[in-house]
Amino acid sequence: HVYLFYNYNSLGMTSICVTYRKVEPDTTKKTLKVALRAIDDNNVGTFRVLNRNILPVTYKDKFYNDIKGYPERFKRLAYSGANVIGAVACRLENDPSSEEHKRLYLMVIGVLAAYRGLGVGSQLLEYVLDQASKYHHEVKSIYLHVQTSNEDAVTFYKKFGFKIIETIDDYYTRV
């Protein structure tokens, strides 16, 4: 099973909303500042290797070929020094509920286990939310899928204002 999450504003309409995406830093936790660099032809192989190490599913070649065509600002690798430790990749889509609006599908966000809990995932998600609000004013919602058993991820997304809107059976058997 997976949960389908959406980010909503306080009016109940889909929107990227500053009040939901701003997370106060936890000063009791150590934060690792990372450099975010675009995923491109030269490092998409690194992105593939990273995904094999952090995700419960294996994506086919088509996924990685398609990534190359997505907007640069929505696909990033997180570097700590020379090491790639995390990534985020999103697809910009037409919103089926509106002809003039878009939505952002958060396809991949992940951090190597040794670097979790250091704020890297938050930096990746905040980057995407910031890019969506600055450069794609037509983006009115962001959605993603999370395995229902991944309680840490569910808590993480809820912290950013995402809400579960649906549970989908056998989702990853179709990926």
CA atoms within 13 A on the CB side of 152: 7
Q: Is 136 a catalytic residue?
A: no
Helix (H) or strand (E) holding 126: helix 120-135
- Burial group, residue 31, by CB count within 10 angstroms (0-12, 13-18, 19+): middle
Helix (H) or strand (E) holding 151: helix 151-159
Task: Name the DSSP class of 45.
Answer: H
Q: Of the residues 6, 64, 136, 145, which is catalytic? A: 145
- Is residue 27 within 8 Å of residue 119, measured between CB atoms? no
Q: Is 105 a catalytic residue?
A: yes
Q: Of the residues 6, 64, 105, 143, which is catalytic? A: 105
Residue written as token pair 């995402």:
162
| Active-site amino acid positions | 105, 145
